[in-house]
Structure 1
Amino acid sequence: MAFAAFQASIMDHKGSTFMARNKIALIGSGMIGGTLAHLAGLKELGDIVLFDIADGIPQGKGLDIAQSSPVEGFDASLTGASDYAAIEGADVCIVTAGVPRKPGMSRDDLLGINLKVMEQVGAGIKKYAPNAFVICITNPLDAMVWALQKFSELPKNKVVGMAGVLDSSRFRLFLAQEFNVSVQDITAFVLGGHGDTMVPLARYSTVAGIPLTDLVQMGWVTKDRLEEIIQRTRDGGAEIVGLLKTGSAYYAPAASAIEMAEAYLKDKKRVLPCAAHLSGQYGVKDMYVGVPTVIGAGGVERIIEIDLNKGEKEAFDKSVAAVAGLCEACIGIAPSLKQ
């Protein structure tokens, strides 16, 4: 009798006194999508919808991860769907839909295929989740997030690309391994496009606050060795693709996107590098390029402009030119993007 009364009291209060949970839509249920769902559940970021056009995959992964919740101790709801209506009202959408890289492919090789996917995804978000904070992971990243914002017509500060957090994480790991120190004591800075022309900045990267350029003078590392680490960072994704042979990275990309989503949902005002829309900053207009940003409840709340020396500016401009070329290629495929 007492239990029945307890149940009734819960039913009476449902929807009236309890806060609504955040809703996270994961558009694409491949390896990154599944990892995103698991991480979002573990962090209790909200209820999770896995979406994929391949019916059965999102439902199966959602059920599998949900069945881990009693063991892991989280209460997030996980569901799978193949209808965009399921993402309705999402607070955050993380987009991984598209074709991943295979050995021998560059991110740019995916452009034609994945642009068509972004058009469909953009239409779905525009219709069902127009107020969401959207994080794009699909490659080639800088061009795809640019196209996704145009297709979805969401505010530019609410659509970002996940690149810099991942690239900086790779740089931090390689530096920590080189110096045999904790990754927690490494800060690293990567600017520009998410590709072969990305710009890891040694001058703005530190070990416990000591710039890498000072560590070269202190004898911790040679300039040549540091350049090798920087190049390995640029090739970080390709290195994993070459080892896996059948796919691309998914654990680190998922963790990076979750860090961005958490900054938005919890209004953490995190300073995170991401592909953000530039409207004159760094001399760039109407393009998405990797720069340091502040992410909070307003989405990208601020873009931080740092001073670049001549060499850094030349490398950044080269990276921007590569992204511009991809955007022009997108317009060639979908002329409506020129607006």
Structure 2
Amino acid sequence: MVKACVCGAAGGIGQPLSLLLKLNPLVTELALYDVVNALGVAADLSHIASPAQVTGYLPPDNGAERALEGSDIVIIPAGVPRKPGMTRDDLFVCINAGICATLAQAIATACPKAFILVISNPVNSTVPVFAEVLKKAGVFDPKKLFGVTHLDIVRASTFVSAVVGKPAEASGYTVPVIGGHAGVTILPLLSQSKPAIPSDILADKEKRDALVYRIQFGGDEVVKAKDGAGSATLSMAQAGAEFAKFVLEAAFGGKSKVVQAYVYLGADSGGAAVQKEIGTELEYFSVPIELGSSGIEKILSLGKLDEYEQGLLGAAVKELGPSIEKGATFQPSPPKL
């Protein structure tokens, strides 16, 4: 029996994410929470024949904690979406940090042992918000807190396939992406792609610059195309559901897997080695991790970065520091959920 809870289930990411979780055979109970429309989304999904029994919750009568009670995994896309001209940091200042702090407190009370998957932007800052609230509550388990950066990996694989001229699924490109989840903090390791990217593409600075930029700013591409009507919701939902599947399979299906996620580097001794690799004592970084029954089993080496990627690393580290500090020092006056 596995209970999953989606916080922000009625939003642009939350609805398709909830649908994909309803179809996951490992999920037997699915709780949906949002400030509006969660009951309708739950009723709609409950008509689909799959193992998961669906319930919806709204804020009245302590709805957040009732939704979260006993959850094994919590996926959090809650928050305000980006609009044209907005950065992810703008969202943090607006409202998302307060929402995250409130949900973190509810998790600390209702399901402190759950795996927590943070999608809410800006991930570089919201993950530290969750960590600090959980620390204050005395229930922080760094092995179970993840910033979901999987969309960057999905985009990298898709965009590399496009450059090479092959369909993404058929080409099978897998590109590690480390760093963070915003702009220049997103560091695609094209030199470590499997299969290897043709050398003429990597050697052509103009082509490589364009490919890296598209991976780093693919979200802006979607925001602009939607013309104020939303951000990357469908692709993020797919990526979030796939990452949740990896966690669930490792925790409850006995299938360990190496993935990348934005995590607290103190979760495993390998984090100290990563700090040496990046030349700084940043507490959070998107790194290769080995998932297991307890969450993060190992934090793995970043591997060898080529000269081009070393330059990207410097820019990523420079921007990540203030973003992490912003989240770690956030003083919540959270809205009522």
Q: Which one of the candidate residues 274, 278, 284 is aligned to 1:282? A: 274
Deviations 1:31-71, CA, capped at 9 Å, x for gaps: 111111100111223111111123xx11111111222x1xx
| TM score, norm. by length of structure 2 | 0.84
Query: Which position in structure 2 is the counterpart of 1:140?
Result: 122
Matched, 1:160 2:157: no
Question: Which of 148-157 and 236-245 deviates more?
Answer: 148-157
Deviation, structure 1 residue 319:
1.4
Q: Which protein is bigger by CA-based radius of gyration?
A: 1
Structure 2 CA distance for aligned equivalents of residues 142 and 247 of structure 1: 21
> Percent identity among equivalent residues?
29
Query: Partner letter of residue 43 of structure 2?
Result: L
Q: Provide the residue aligned with 1:298 in structure 2.
A: 294
CA separation in 2, counterparts of 1:226 and 1:311?
9
Aligned-pair distance for 1:226? 2.7
Q: Deviations over 1:100-159 (max 9, x none)?
A: 111110111111221111110110000001110000001111210111122123201100
Corresponding residue for residue 13 of structure 1: none
Counterpart for residue 242 of structure 2? 259
**1:175 alignment partner, one of 147, 154, 160:** 160
Structure 2: runs of 5 or more not aligned: 267-271
Provide the secondary structure at the position in 1 that maps to 2:283.
strand
Q: How does 1:1-339 map to 2 (within 5 A)?
A: 21-29=1-9, 30-46=11-27, 47-54=29-36, 57-67=37-47, 69=48, 73-82=49-58, 83=63, 84-112=65-93, 113-153=95-135, 154-163=140-149, 165-184=150-169, 185-197=172-184, 198-206=186-194, 209=195, 211-212=196-197, 215-217=198-200, 222-244=204-226, 245-267=228-250, 268-279=255-266, 280-283=272-275, 284-285=280-281, 287-305=283-301, 306-331=303-328, 333-334=330-331
Q: Residue 277 of structure 1 contacts residue 286 of structure 1 at CA under 8 Å; is this kept in 2?
A: no
Q: What are structure 1's unaligned runs of at least 5 residues? A: 1-20
1: CA distance, partners of 2:57 / 2:233: 21
**Take 1:317 and 1:276, find their aligned partners in 2: how far apart are those partners?**
19
SS of residue matched to 2:264:
strand
Alignment check: 8 A CA contact 1:25 1:48 kept: yes
Superposed displacement of residue 310, structure 1:
4.8
1:235-293 per-position Cα deviation (integer Å, ceiling 9, x unaligned): 10111011112211112212222222222222221211110111324225462211111
**What SS does structure 2 have at the residue aligned with 1:186?**
coil
CA change 1:331–1:23 in 2 (3 A) is closer
Higher RCO (CA 8 Å, separation ≥ 6 residues):
2
Alpha-carbon deviation of 1:295? 1.7
Q: Residue type matched to 2:245 in 1?
A: E
RMSD (Å) for aligned C-alpha atoms: 2.1
